[in-house]
Structure 1
C-alpha cells in the first residue's frame, strides 16, 4: 500500500512498523558511540553541541538544530563535541523491511534538515507516552510512522523553502495563525519587514499570487473544511474565518467550488466530496 500525493509527487509506501520508540540523552564532552550496525530507521535530532557520524567510512557532520535519518544495515561510529555537552533525541522505527521504492525516495533526500516544531512535538509526545503506565504500543508505532512521513515531506520541500524569501515565509505563517483577524497589505508588509510593493513582487515570484489573494484562498480553504466537518451556520463560519458578511463568503465559495455553501455541505455529508 502507498500513500497518494496531492501534488503529483512520487507516492510514499506505507510501512508496517513493528515498534517505535523515542529517547533522549546528553553526552559529556568527548562522548562516543559505536562502531555499531544500524538496525532500524532512526531519526536523530541534534539540539545542542556537535555530532559527527562516520557511516561506512563517510563522515557526516550534523549542525545543531538539525535532524538526520539513519538507515539500517550501515556501520556507524558517533563522535560528540569535545568541549561541551551534546544533547540529542531520537526516534527509532523498527520495520519488517524497507521497500525498494522507499529506499529510492530516501537516497534523494538531503543529509539533514532543520528540526521543525512539528517534529519536536512528535518526539515529546512519544517520550510522554513511553513513560505512561498505560500501554501505548500502537500509538507509539503510529507516531513513529508519522514522524518518518513528516521527515520525508519536510526534506522534500527543504530546498524550496531555502530559496523562498524569508518575508514570504513569515507572512504565510502569520496568515495561517491569524486568518480570522482583520488583515491588510500594510500589516502583512510590517510582518515581512519590507515595503508593500516589495512584498507583492516577491510573493508573486515565490507563490504565484499576491499576499492578499493567498490570504483569501487560505480563509476559503478553512471555510470549506468547516462546512464539511461542522454544523456551524454559514454566518458563523464566515465570522470565524475573517469574512465580514456571510454573503461575501457564500459568493466566494460559489466561485471556488461551483457550488453554493449549502451544496458543498450537503455533498460532503452525503459522502460526495
Structure 2
C-alpha cells in the first residue's frame, strides 16, 4: 500500500541520515575531529572546518551535545583509546600517540577519569573475559 511504502521510505531516510536535525557547523566540526583526532591542532582546525566562529560553535556544541568542543574531542580521543586498549596489543604509549594525547600519562589520566580504572586494569579485565558457554539446544 502507499502508506506502507511511505513509512518504509521514512524509516530508510531516518536510518541512513548521518545526523538528522543537527547544525551543519556541529556536524562539520565533529567529522573533522573524528577523522583527525591524532593531530595536535585538531581542535583549532575543526573550528576552522566548521565554518562558524569559535563562540558560535561552542554555543552550538553546548546546545546540541551538552559539552564543549574541547571536551568532546577529549572524550572522542579517550573512547578511541579504550577501543585500541581492549582490541589490540598496542602499548599505552602507542595508543596515546595514535589518539592525540600529549603523553601516556595524559591518556591514563583521561581513562581513569572516564572509567574509574587505569588502562592496565581495563585491558586485563577485557582480555580475561571469555565468551559465555551456551549448550546446544535439542
TM-score range, shorter chain: 0.7 to 0.9
Larger Rg: 1
Q: Distance in 1 between matches of 2:53 and 2:38?
A: 23
Deviations 1:115-171 (A, max 9, x none): xxxxxxxxxxxxxxxxxxxxxxxxxxxxxxxxxxxxx743xxx4x934211010111
Q: SS of 2:10's equivalent?
A: coil
Q: SS of 2:117's equivalent?
A: coil
Partner of 1:261: 119
Q: SS of 1:161's equivalent?
A: coil
Q: Distance in 2 between matches of 1:186 and 1:226?
A: 25
Aligned ranges for residues 71-82 of structure 1 at < 5 Å?
none
The 1:178/1:198 distance shift into structure 2, 3 A limit, reads: same
Q: Distance in 2 between matches of 1:266 and 1:258?
A: 14
The 1:111/1:225 distance shift into structure 2, 3 A limit, reads: closer
Partner of 1:202: 60
Equivalent of residue 245 in structure 1, options 86, 103, 114: 103
The 1:184/1:176 distance shift into structure 2, 3 A limit, reads: closer
Q: Distance in 2 between matches of 1:223 and 1:107?
A: 39
Structure 1 gaps of 5+ residues are 1-55, 60-69, 72-105, 114-151
Contact 1:171 1:191 in 2 (8 A): yes
Q: Aligned residues, how many?
A: 130
Q: Distance in 2 between matches of 1:185 and 1:250?
A: 21
Deviations 1:9-43 (A, max 9, x none): xxxxxxxxxxxxxxxxxxxxxxxxxxxxxxxxxxx
Give the structure-2-normalised TM-score. Answer: 0.82
The 1:270/1:194 distance shift into structure 2, 3 A limit, reads: same
The 1:153/1:163 distance shift into structure 2, 3 A limit, reads: closer
Q: Distance in 2 between matches of 1:268 and 1:162?
A: 34
- Larger proportion of helix: 2
Q: Distance in 1 between matches of 2:107 and 2:11?
A: 44
Contact 2:97 2:103 in 1 (8 A): yes
Give the structure-1-normalised TM-score. Answer: 0.43
Q: Distance in 1 between matches of 2:45 and 2:20?
A: 24
Task: Measure how far apart 1:222 and its partner are.
Answer: 0.6
Structure 2 gaps of 5+ residues are 131-138
Equivalent of residue 23 in structure 2, options 159, 165, 169: 165
